[in-house]
Amino acid sequence: MDEIIENIRESLKKNRLFDLRETLKVLHPEDIAGLLERLEENEKEKVFSELDVEVAADVLLELGDESLSFLLSRFTEEEISEITQEMEPHEAADIVAELPMETREEVLELIPKETSKDVETLLQYPENTAGGIMSLNYVSFPKDLTIEESLNRFRAMGAETDLSYVYVTDPTNHLVGVLPLRRLLVSPLQNRLEEIMIQRPIVAHVDDDQEVVARIVKKYDLLALPVVDRVGLLKGVVRFRDVMDVLEKEATEDILRMGGTHIEESVFSSPLKSFLRRVPWLYVNLFTALIAASVVGLFTETIVAAATVAVFMPMVAGMGGNAGTQTLALIVRGIALGEVTLKDTWRVLLKQISVGFLTGIAIGILTALIAFLWKGNPVMGLVVGIALVINIVTACTFGALIPLTLKKLRLDPALGSGIFITATTDAVGFLVFLSLATLFIKFLK
């Protein structure tokens, strides 16, 4: 990949556009998107301009938010409409949704009326819902149709139809059943669809969160999931490959938000953009660090009187932070996969407190022994061990409580959780350890 990037940059530098096009011609759109993410903005624009419109459409769909926004800002309305016409309506809707309202309206006017109507329909739904990620490319037939009639209709549809299941509807377009393609092909031609369909199919509703949709598809091992409105009218289909995109996106968001990083930042974002996106959370982190520092400041006399205490402070805080991060990762994952709900709050908390207590005892005893052997002071070992037990229990408790509270407030459970858990374990760890050290100061000198 590095060699290809160097070749591309060399071609751009020497204006050898033919060589550039030849290099791009043999690459998959996914690989081209990966290359664009690593190029500078002026290079992105030049390389993208050399792509055929069909390839450009596929590449655009694979780009990160930052690169996508940059390239869209460089296109005219005519160029955007030309590219989106190579996409399916739900893909075009994703691109159009990124545009300013005025540009969006102009692009929709330039797109063929039938496609424009489908895109406008999809734009009505919030981006992170079943309606926002569903496709309108599916097959539905009336329930009284025979197998033979259905197959004849298939032949008339052409090769562009995305076929995993046939969705069976009543005369008012309410979904009443689903039919895997294999069952359709092996059934007697005279049978009607309603006789062989799977009744009461698994569905998503248009306003279901995309994470809920992803969990349903994964749980029931579906290739596609029908989407209906609240009265059961068939509106679209979420396909397995769309769900994979959702899972990747949600996992990425959780990882970045746990560390207080902006979800649109990439490894190759400009230094200024990265700075502006990171600094707000770093200010939050600074504030929480000041709280921990102020706790330490309360015990200056203790630290001066027994300097050895300072040796074990990072250990107490660090072990608590690590234990809290372990719990945090487990709970955030459980919430994301639907394994943990708000109804499980007390059960989860009690379990994590138990885990924290057992872990604290195990770590505390070992650390107390190390402290005793190292400094030759059994009281120091006792103080360190007790502080670790209390801080690890606190860490496990708050590692569960923070994401569950954010969920209760309808915020992303991963939102800055890493920063908050670190602040909590630092403050509590220092407070407990230094309080115990102050209590036993005459034995520590």
Asked whether residue 251 is domain-assigned, the answer is no
How much is the average pLDDT of 345-360?
Answer: 91
Secondary structure tally for the chain: helices H, strands E: 23, 7
Asked whether residue 81 is domain-assigned, the answer is yes
Both 301 and 202 in one domain: the answer is: no
Asked whether residue 323 is domain-assigned, the answer is yes
Look up the pTM and report it.
0.65
Both 425 and 281 in one domain: the answer is: yes
User: Considering all CA atoms of the chain, what is the largest pairwise distance in Å, rounded to the nearest integer?
Assistant: 95
Both 372 and 234 in one domain: the answer is: no
pLDDT range class, residue 228, cuts 50, 70, 90: very high
Both 83 and 122 in one domain: the answer is: yes
C-alpha–C-alpha distance, residues 228 and 169, integer Å:
11
Residue 248 main-chain phi, psi, to 5 deg: -65, -45
- For residue 139, what is the enclosing H or E element? strand 139-142
Q: What is the pLDDT of residues 310-324, one digit of tens each?
A: 888 888 988 998 898
C-alpha–C-alpha distance, residues 92 and 117, integer Å:
12
Question: Regarding beta strands 224-228 and 234-239, do their DSSP bridges make them parallel or antiparallel, or are they unpaired?
Answer: antiparallel
Of 191-205, 210-224, 246-260, 387-401, the least confident: 246-260
Task: Answer whether residue 362 shows pLDDT above 90.
Answer: yes
Q: What is the pLDDT of residue 270?
A: 66
Both 222 and 365 in one domain: the answer is: no
Task: Answer whether residue 263 shows pLDDT above 60.
Answer: no
Both 303 and 410 in one domain: the answer is: yes
How much is the average pLDDT of 144-171?
Answer: 82
pLDDT range class, residue 289, cuts 50, 70, 90: confident
Q: What is the pLDDT of residue 254?
A: 63
Say which CATH number the domain at 68 has. Answer: 1.25.60.10
Q: What is the pLDDT of residues 45-81, one digit of tens each?
A: 888 888 888 888 888 888 887 888 888 888 888 888 8
C-alpha–C-alpha distance, residues 64 and 44, integer Å:
13
Residue with tokens 């197959």: 151
Both 54 and 97 in one domain: the answer is: yes
Q: What is the pLDDT of residues 72-105, one digit of tens each?
A: 888 888 888 888 888 888 888 888 888 888 888 8
Q: What is the pLDDT of residue 235?
A: 93
Structural domain count, the chain: 3
Both 51 and 116 in one domain: the answer is: yes
Task: Answer whether residue 333 shows pLDDT above 90.
Answer: no
Q: Which domain holds residue 57?
A: 2-128
User: Where among 222, 239, 256 does a domain terminate?
Assistant: 239
Q: What is the pLDDT of residue 310?
A: 85
Which is nearest to 361 in space by CA: 326, 393, 389? 389
pLDDT range class, residue 386, cuts 50, 70, 90: very high
